[in-house]
């Protein structure tokens, strides 16, 4: 499983729904969506400022993460952003690679 940082901001309609249902019910709905695609929730927090929700989730593959993102964003009530997270070891492995690349104009 790969980890993803999930951040979200509610639209005005989404905030109305959150206030009506409460945070616990929205977490249940988000968890159900994530689990329906084989994922799980590591942590989930509400915040204020740019982001209303911050969480770490696990997904078995990119397609599963994308499916949940598309489903939630399609409602128009939430703007969800999903960012893949990498381990220190994955960065170490990437730093040891030397891709063949020619910059533009060379």
Which CATH architecture describes the domain 2-96? 2-Layer Sandwich (3.30)
End-to-end CA distance of the chain: 40
Query: Are 53 and 34 within 8 A, CB to CB?
Result: no
pLDDT tens across 18-30, in order?
999 999 999 999 9
C-alpha distance from residue 13 to each of 19, 23, 76, 79, 91 (Å): 10, 15, 8, 12, 40
Spans of all domains in the chain: 2-96
CA atoms within 13 A on the CB side of 12: 0
pLDDT tens across 6-61, in order?
999 999 999 999 999 999 999 999 999 999 999 999 999 999 999 999 999 999 99
Query: Are 76 and 13 within 8 A, CB to CB?
Result: yes
| Residue 92: pLDDT over 90 | yes
Which residue, among 34, 30, 67, has the nearest Cα to 46 in the 3D structure?
30
């Amino acid at each position: 499983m790969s980890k993803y940082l999930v951040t979200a901001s509610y639209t005005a309609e989404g905030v109305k729904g959150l206030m009506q249902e409460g945070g616990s019910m929205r977490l249940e709905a988000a968890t159900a969506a994530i689990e329906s695609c084989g994922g799980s929730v590591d942590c989930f927090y509400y915040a204020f400022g740019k982001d209303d929700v911050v969480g770490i989730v696990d997904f078995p593959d990119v397609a599963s993460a994308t499916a949940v993102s598309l489903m939630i964003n399609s409602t128009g009530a939430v703007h969800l952003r999903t960012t893949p997270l990498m381990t220190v070891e994955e960065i170490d492995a990437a730093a040891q690679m030397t891709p063949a690349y020619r910059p533009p104009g060379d």
